[in-house]
Every structure is written in structure tokens, then in C-alpha cells.
Chain A
Amino acid sequence: MNKNKEGQGIVDRIWSLFSSVKLAVIVFTIISLTSIVGTVIEQQAEPERNIKLLTKLFGDSVAPGLYRFLDSTGFTDMFGSWWFMGLLFIFATNLVICSIDRLPKILKVVKTPISPLGEEQFKAITSKHEAVVKGNAEKAGPRVIEVLKKIGFHGEIKKEGGATQICAEKGRYSRLGVYVTHLSILLILFGAVVGMKFGFNGSLNLLEGTTSAVAYKSNGQKVPLGFELRCDDFDVGFYPDSDRPREYKSRLTVIEGGREVLNKEIEVNSPLTYKGITFYQSSFGFEPNRDAIFKFSITPSGGKTQDIAVKFGEPFAVQGTNLTGEVADFSPALGVDPSGKLFTYAESMNNPAVFVQFSEAGNPKFKQWILKRYPDTWKTEAGTVEFRDLWGVQYTGLQVRKDPGVWIVYLGCIVMACGLYAAFFMSHARIWVRLREEKNSTRVTIASSINKNRIAFGRTLDRFVRDLQDKA
């Protein structure tokens, strides 16, 4: 960086601005502060909601004007606004230029293995230890290397100005951890941009038995899928004896060129992906209609089980008897109150039940509520009538997404994990050992440096010196 302002061109000036960490902390601050506003103001909401909120916070007189101001500056949809994107862009540029600016220096450090220190350099290092070892340098050298191995260092004997120095280092590449971390942030941002440019987010409600070739964006716009998707069935599983849902399942079929190419049951946390488009189980609903089909399994006493599918009011014969049945009423969620009365307690199909009228030769014989989740109610005079499902009335709500950038984001996450590990849990430690022969012994001077975790390293060195002297 050029310190001389006069001689700096505009490019240099911008470069030095964007290579400064000062800009980074300023950008951190601005992003944080504006984001706080973005969590208070409800994003992409109806204007009334935010005006109500502002009225609560600041009073009647200010709210409308303040809302107009916030709306025109993009704070009501700030995470998609041009200026927030601009901030993220500055953030990314800062990161890129800052890294480029320092990378050559750091690469040089990382590429150069440890070398012996000259007299002056050796003196300048403040972290020193000393030990006296019996025997001459010929004998002391290998001993030092052996003890170094004990603390996990690989020592090499090198000559420096006629004297012998033993050098050892560990974790040189960990110095790149910070840069790897920064690179991962860029990767994630890049992946997000790819996703925004080439992907889409939509939704799709599919009634059981229906097919769609498009999904819908939040603004209602149709997005062609390039294939067709059919919902074969939707089902909610409950925990035993409760209305607490355990699972939501949709059986989906992908149809391409008239052929069924894929069949999968999806659940929350377990989506279906085909040709880059992913379908997530996200909601469901109940839509009564005339075409719905009631499915039963009927087992007359002593007889064989038979599966039946009928529409509302359509008579069916109970094999092995003279009886016919027909569905006369339906409830999506039938409950029993303490006095024994039946009532419908929910709009969704928590506990579907049918009211079946049984007749013999056209004369009503008996009628009964049959509840899907209560086997006790399946027993009738005609045998066991299990109500399996009402099919064609529930729709599955799917979140539809195409995001070709998501793999870049995931890759970025993995890189970030590695980078952070190297940046925080690894360090670059260096040891230089100088041997000086005295009368019957060798004086061993140890200079060392480490870029973090100084205290722990100091303790390791103490152990090293102790071991060295014990050996002597």
C-alpha cells in the first residue's frame, strides 16, 4: 500500500479503502443496525400491519408518515432492496480485495519452510528457554531431536554461520485458515446469487388424484415444471391416542412424456427432487367435493375381507350377507363429548368418520358411525367394516423450489467449517534450538514463536526442557 497520498490515483485510493479492515467493521455495523430495523418492521407484510405496529411504538401522528418513509426507502422489504444488496456487495468486495491484498505475503510465509535464524534475529526473539545437556554437540543434537518428537515436532539439523541449529515447526498451513474462512463466505454469497438468478421459489396445492405441470410463484405467476406431478395420496399420521400429528405424507408420481418415471412418498424433512426441482411437504388442506371416494375393507363374520371404493350415497353390497350399505353422512373429525354426544371438532381430517346406513332389500335395517382411527366402531351387525380413507378430498401443499446454487452454498458451508477449525483450533508453532558446546556439556538455547495459544505452548516447552534435562 502506498502511504504517500499525493501520488495515489483514484484506483489506488479505492483499493486501499476496500483492503482495510476498518471498512469491514463499519460494514458489519451498518448491516447489523439496518437488519435490526428489518426484524422490527414486518417484511413483505400488508401495510396495515406495519402501520399498526408503528402506531403502537410511536403514536398516531407519526405512524403514517413514518410508514411512507420506510416504505419508500425499502425497509418494508429490505432484504431484497437494492441498497441492502449494495451493502452485501460492498461487504463481498471488501473481503475479496482485502484477501488479494494480503494473500501474496501470507502465501510466501506458508510456502517457505522454517530456516535457521541469524544471530540478531535469534536474539530478538523474546520467548527463550535454556537447558544444559551433558556431552558435546554431536551427542546433544540427536537427543534434542528425540525429545522434540515427544512434543510432536519433527526437528532438522541445519548449519547457520558455523553453529548448529535445530529447527522444527508445526501447523504452517493453518495460517491459511482465515483466508479459507473468508473464501467460504464468498462461496456462500455466490451460491445465493446463482440461486436467485437461475432458480425460483413457488408452491403448488395438489388435490389427491390430480396432476399439474406448473407451480405458482408468490405473485401468482405460473412456472412450467417441464414434467407433470401427480398426488396419489395424502395422509396425516397421529401419535397414538392424541391429535398430535406425527407425520405428513404425500405419495407423488412424476410423469414425463406420458410415462410414470418416478414414484416417491415424501414427508417433512424428506423431499422429492426431480430434474433440479425439489418438492417439499409444507402444508395440506381439506376440500370436500362430490367426486370423493370412500374406501372400506369389509369382513363379514367368518367371511373373507373385501375392499370397496364408493362415492357418497352410492350403495354397495356386503358380500356373504343380504345387506347393502351407503354413506349417508361424513365428518372430518368426529369426537365424543363427555355426555356421549358426537360432534365435529376440526375442519381438517383429524379423525374422519362416516355414517353408514345398512339396508336389506331396500328396507333400512341399522345405521352406524364408523371412525377411521377407532377400531371399536368398525364392528357392525354386518361384520367388521373398516373405514380406510376418504380419498380425493385432501390436497397436499407443496413448496416447490429450483435452486442450482444450493450446492455452492453447501460447499461453502463445508469450506467454512474447515477454515474456522484451522483459524481457531490450529496454530503455527516454530522452534529454533541453538547448541553451544561448553567444557563437558552443551548449552541448549531454545527460541520459539507461535501465532496463538501462547500459554499452552509455553507449557509444552516447559515439558520439553524438563525432559531434555532429565535425559541428560
Chain B
Amino acid sequence: MDSSFFFGVATIVYILAMVAYISYLAFKNSAVGVIATTATVVGFVSQTVAFGLRWKEFYEIGRMGILRAIPLTNLYESLVFFVWCLILGYLVIEWKYKTRSFGAFITPIAGITLAFISIAGVSTEIQPLVPALQSNWLLAHVTMSFISYAAFAISCATALMYLAITAEDRKSFPYIFWTVTLAIFIVSFIAMGIDFVTLKISAKTPQAFIQNYMFKATFRSGSGIIVAVSSAAFLAIVFLVWRYGFHLRKVIAAFSLTPEILDDLTYKAIAVGFPVFTLGGLIFGAIWADQAWGKYWSWDPKETWSLITWFVYAFYLHARHMRGWRGNKIAVMAVIGFACTIFTYLGVNLLLSGLHSYGSMQ
């Protein structure tokens, strides 16, 4: 049995877990809840096994150091690792807070992401690393960055839920903010899914994927008609989410999630993400750059955006602790923080010049 077998199991089990969590929400039957949790744990274990096996396969083919062979070199693997962190984070929350309510939100993300990966086919080709990338600091940098991204993703989700249950009025800023943000996430997810399915993606690195494929089947298509249709669909989805957003609020309220719990979770997730991001995302990245190029900080767009993200979360922490910001204001900050995180990872390559190429020696 190889890694792809266990990935397959994880994918199917996560989708089953998703169904179970949603039924649990609907029927509040505790047996169903236990099934949902069990399924998630089983999926998590098989994903862990798959990850380990893939690591071993890489090690055997690549003949590099064992650490160097960690399967985190292309977009699929990054997404898989992201899902793994997300599920781990979720299981910790379920265990600590004794609530299964978030499962219905988290497992669909996990299941759908993995399903996309299976449809697109995980590239099992071994990518030997070019010299600049052969660094354990880089490895620690990438791994910890993804862990912090997962934590920030959770904080964003809870902050959006917070806004969803506290916003009273369709015309109020918090309501418009959370519905539009949610709609943008949904649209991006769908558009990336369409990229995966329609384009035969052969990108080797996340950067190459982003630059050459992302949104190419929709918003960045060569055909004006497709761009127009995509934009119209985007506006339609924004409108629908805005129009029917209150239904979601009822759903969340039905899970007996209070604003207090959501606010606390948002803070907790950031309190985990911030130190991990500082250490892994900023410090380890700087150490790697120092060893590879002799400059620990060169203000290139990717570094600068990491710093901006860091400042936004520093803003969150200080505003919350020292300035006493609470409620909608602070939840909006958490969402902005995650938007910056995504921009650091995707937007810099997609929209800015991409000076953060992995060196002139590629």
C-alpha cells in the first residue's frame, strides 16, 4: 500500500465525516456526533500515514538527506499539508472546547481540497531541489509558515462567524463585510477548482502554479467572454450570499456558538499563529536568506508583505489587549490579517513582480 492509497482513504473518510457533522447539526444525535469524530480521527491518521509514506518514497528516490525529502515542494503537497494542519487544529478545538459545531465547517474544506487534489492527480514526480532550496532553515520556514497559515485560517473562520451572528442589519458594515468576504472565498475556491479540472496543470512549484495557472480558466482567461461570464458569476454569488446570509446565521446560532466563544477562539488561534509565524515565517526565513544570499532582509515584496501581515496581527493583539477593542472591530482586524496572509502567499506572486524568485540560479 503506497501513499496514494492512504490519501484516498483520508479523502473519502473526510467526506464521510463532513456528512456526519452536518447530520449531527441537523439531528443533534450524539451517536452521529461520535461517528463524525471517529471518522475525522481515522482520516487524520491515514493522512498522517500517507504523509509519512510519501516522505519515505521521496527519500528513497531523491537520495537526499532525510529532512530534505519532506514532501512540501509543490502546490499539491502544500495544500495537503495545510489540510493536515487544519484538521489537527480542529481536533484540538473539538477536544478542548467539547464542541463539534465547527466540524461542519472544517471537514468540507478538508474533503473538498483533497478531492480536488485527487481529481487533478497528485504529481508523484520527484523534484530534486536546486541548490538555493537545499536548506534546513528553508524547510523549517516553509513548514512553520503553513502551520501558522492554518491557525490564521481558523481565526478568520471564527471571526467571520462572529460577525455573522452579531450583525443585525443587511445594510450594516459588519454584515456587508462578512458576506462579501465569504463570497470572495467561495468564488476563489470554485475558480481554483475550475483551474484544476479544466487545465492540465503541470506546475512544478506553487509559484509556477500561481503565475501560470491560477484563475486562468476564469478571471485571467484569454477570452473576453469567459472573463465577463466569470465576473458576472462572481457578482451573482456576492449578491446571493448577501441576500441569504441570515440563514447561515441561524445555522450557526443552532450550534449554540456564542459570540464569546467565537471571539475567544479567534484570539486563541492568533495567539498560536502569531508566535509560530514570527519564528518560522520571519526569523527562519531571514536566517535562510542570510545563509543563501548574505542578506537577512532585503525588503523584497514577499518579505515586506510578511512584515505587513505581522504588523496587522501585532495591531490585533495591541488593540485588543491595550486599547480594549472588542466586538466587530477586532473581528474585522482578524479577517484583514488573514487576507494579508493569503496575499503574502498568493497575491505577491500573482499580482506583484515576483522578485522573490528562488534566486538567479534557477
Chain A residues within 8 Å of B, Cβ to Cβ: 21-22, 24-25, 28-29, 31-32, 35-36, 38-40, 42-43, 79, 192, 201, 239, 242, 244-248, 267-271, 278, 280-284, 399-401, 406, 409-410, 413, 416-417, 420-421, 423-425, 455-456
Contacts and interface: CB of A to CB of B under 8 A. Distances in A.
B135 A21 contact: no
B311 A28 contact: yes
From A22, A31, A268, A278, residue with most partner B Cβ within 10 Å: A268
A170 B60 CA distance: 48
B131 A267 contact: yes
A280 B308 contact: no
Contacts of A79: 299, 304
B327 interface: no
B292 to A, nearest CB: 5
A303 to B, nearest CB: 35
A24 B132 CA distance: 37
A273 B264 CA distance: 49
Interface string B313-339: 011001100110000000000000000
Interface in B30-62: none
Contacts of A400: 294
Interface in B281-321: 283, 286-287, 290-297, 299, 301, 304-305, 307-308, 311-312, 314-315, 318-319
A148 B156 CA distance: 38
B275 interface: yes
A247 B305 CA distance: 30
B361 interface: yes
Contact of A399 (B132, B278, B293, B348): B293
Given A35-B307, A269-B291, A413 B301 contact: no
Contact of A38 (B134, B304, B322, B360): B304
Contact of B296 (A40, A42, A268, A406): A406
Nearest to B270: A424
B361 A248 contact: yes
10 contacts: A28-B311, A28-B318, A39-B348, A246-B131, A268-B131, A268-B361, A283-B361, A401-B294, A424-B271, A456-B96
B291 A271 contact: yes
Contacts of B275: 420-421, 423-425
A410 B274 CA distance: 19
A269 B134 contact: yes
Contacts of B348: 39
A21 B322 contact: yes
Nearest to A31: B311
Contacts of B104: none
B199 interface: no
A378 to B, nearest CB: 25
Contacts of A42: 353, 355
Contacts of A21: 318, 322-323
A79 to B, nearest CB: 4
A406 B294 CA distance: 10
Contacts of B271: 424
Nearest to A453: B268
B279 interface: yes
Contact of A248 (B131, B264, B308, B311): B131
Nearest to B297: A192
Contacts of B132: 268-269
B297 A24 contact: no
Contacts of A281: 131
A201 B348 CA distance: 26
B283 A268 contact: no
B131 A36 contact: no
B225 interface: no
Contacts of A269: 131-132, 134-135, 291-292
B314 A28 contact: yes
Given A28-B315, A239-B128, A424-B274, A35 B294 contact: no
B308 A32 contact: yes
Contact of B319 (A25, A36, A283): A25
B352 interface: yes
Contact of B294 (A32, A40, A399): A399
Contacts of A410: 287
B130 interface: yes
A419 B295 CA distance: 24
Given A21-B322, A269-B292, 13 more contacts: A28-B312, A29-B315, A35-B308, A42-B355, A79-B304, A245-B130, A246-B130, A268-B131, A268-B134, A270-B291, A280-B293, A284-B361, A420-B274
A77 to B, nearest CB: 10
Contacts of B361: 245, 248, 268, 282-284
Closest 6 CB pairs of A and B: A39-B301, A268-B131, A21-B322, A420-B275, A401-B294, A79-B299
Contact of B323 (A25, A39, A399, A413): A25
Nearest to A22: B323
B290 A406 contact: yes
B259 to A, nearest CB: 16
B293 A409 contact: no
B258 to A, nearest CB: 13
Interface string B233-274: 000000000000000000000000000000010000001101
Contact of B130 (A38, A201, A244): A244
Contacts of B134: 247, 268-269
A409 B361 CA distance: 27
A399 B301 CA distance: 21
Contacts of A39: 301, 304-305, 348, 352
Contacts of A278: 294
B128 A401 contact: no
A398 to B, nearest CB: 9
A423 B275 CA distance: 9
Given A21-B318, A244-B130, A271 B278 contact: no
Contact of A201 (B272, B295, B315): B295
Given A28-B314, A43-B299, A245-B130, A283 B291 contact: no
Contacts of A28: 311-312, 314-315, 318
A38 B128 contact: no
Nearest to B279: A417
B289 to A, nearest CB: 11
A32 B278 contact: no
